């Protein structure tokens, strides 16, 4: 079975995109290799996102904030799908992606901006994680080799 490379983009690559990478990489279908990056990556992954990703079975050594520039290099893994998960990244000028991947925007509020108790903060991350999981589940059920950008965007609008 072919695995499809899916890159999740967010400005700082510390929360939403990390969750997307972990969900895709650990998806029970085995159809995806997840990656994540940011336009201006932070210095570290948000601790709550890290905790949730490790609970999913993600190798903690792979959880790093990185620039999206690394995925535009000639020796980078070629992406089949590129999904922005924050509104800022969706509006930015993205680098050239080799291979003409299918792109879409699945916007989610930034859970790291939630203030309050630890429970409230974790709940915000879990809500984003669950929203991403629903979309990835729908994506996994589709004929992946025949998808186009419109089909991928419709996953977000149907939920």
Average model confidence (pLDDT) across the chain: 88
86 is catalytic: yes
What are 13-64's pLDDT values in tens digits? Answer: 999 999 999 999 999 999 999 999 998 898 899 999 999 999 999 999 999 9
- Assign domain 4-149 to a CATH class: alpha beta
Catalytic-role residue among 76, 94, 126, 138? 94
37 is catalytic: no
Domain ranges in the chain are 4-149
Long-range contacts of 144-147 (CB under 8 A, 24+ apart): 144/4, 144/31, 144/80, 145/2, 147/81, 147/102
What are 37-46's pLDDT values in tens digits? Answer: 998 898 899 9
Catalytic-role residue among 10, 15, 124, 155? 10
Catalytic-role residue among 79, 82, 86, 129? 86
What are 116-153's pLDDT values in tens digits? Answer: 999 999 999 999 999 999 999 999 998 887 766 566 66
Q: What is the pTM of this model?
A: 0.90
């Amino acid at each position: 079975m072919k695995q499809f490379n899916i890159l999740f983009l967010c400005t700082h690559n510390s929360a939403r995109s990390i969750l997307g990478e972990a969900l895709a990489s650990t998806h029970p279908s085995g159809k995806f290799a997840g990656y994540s990056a940011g336009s201006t990556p932070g210095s570290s992954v948000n601790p709550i996102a890290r905790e949730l990703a490790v609970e999913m079975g993600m190798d903690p050594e792979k959880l790093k904030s990185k620039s999206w520039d690394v995925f535009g290099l000639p020796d980078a893994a070629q992406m089949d799908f590129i999904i922005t998960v924050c509104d800022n990244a969706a509006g930015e000028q993205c680098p050239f992606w080799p291979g003409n991947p299918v792109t879409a925007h699945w916007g989610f509020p930034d859970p790291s901006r939630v203030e309050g108790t630890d429970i409230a903060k974790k709940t915000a991350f879990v809500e984003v994680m669950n929203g991403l999981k629903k979309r990835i589940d729908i994506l996994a059920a589709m004929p992946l080799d025949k998808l186009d950008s419109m089909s991928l965007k419709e996953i977000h609008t149907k939920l």
